[in-house]
Amino acid sequence: MSLRLILLGPPASGKGTQGRRLAEDLGLDYLSTGALLREAMEEGSAAGEEARPYLERGDYVPDALMQPLVERWLGERQGGWILDGYPRTLAQDDALRAWLRGQGGRLDGVIELQVPKQELVRRIERRVECPECRWSGQRGELNGAGRCPECGGLAGPRADDTLDNFLSRHEQFVRHTMPIIERYAADDRLFSCDATAPVDAVAERLLAISERLKRHGQAA
């Protein structure tokens, strides 16, 4: 059974690191909307240029711009997937639900990564990303000479990882994404995970949650 999962959490909660790892462990496709938009910016596409000022300010990209990109990505996948940080607004969640209904599909679960704000600030100060493969993590995870542990590319801080930008994105998360988390909690489809533990421990917790969801889906 191929799962369809949403991974939500504040900026720097580890969604990229854990989402990629979980997708690999489960054999699922993985979508990071942030990486998708940054790639579009680097390519100089119309969507990337339209998204640029929002990302540089730490604002959410408008639903009208984000939704077509996500639906195109989803439409190219036949199996299961993990959405990292999407949906980010109630309107995006409504659109995703409508898309799933139109495809005769369903969402298996939503996993929330929980990290205190002060820990998020510490992580932001140390976070790096590889422009080659989009791996992201902490400086201490890099190989010699600042090289990405996945592909060997030269990793460095993200351009949007300033403290002011983080504080803006965190405020946007509280305002726009927390209502989605509350919605899925009310539907009894939310699974929360303490993501302050070491990376391997958090990965084990997420895998255990996913296995529970898989067994539940097989029994349904």
Q: How many residues does the chain have?
A: 220
127 an active-site residue? yes
**Which of the following is catalytic: 15, 20, 134, 205?**
15
123 an active-site residue? no
**Which of the following is catalytic: 158, 183, 189, 214?**
158
CA distances from 196 to 14, 78, 212 (A): 9, 33, 22
122 an active-site residue? no
Q: Which two tokens stand for residue 60?
A: 């959410």
189 an active-site residue? no
**DSSP state letters, the chain:** ---EEEEE-STTSSHHHHHHHHHHHHT-EEEEHHHHHHHHHHHT-HHHHHHHHHHHHTPPPPHHHHHHHHHHHHHT--S-EEEES---SHHHHHHHHHHHHHHT----EEEEEE--HHHHHHHHHHEEE-TTT--EEEGGG-BGGGB-TTT--B-B--TT--HHHHHHHHHHIIIIIHHHHHHHHHTT-EEEEE--S-HHHHHHHHHHHHHHHHHHHHH-
**Which of the following is catalytic: 20, 127, 134, 205?**
127
**Which of the following is catalytic: 4, 20, 88, 205?**
88
72 an active-site residue? no
Just list the catalytic residues.
15, 88, 127, 158, 169
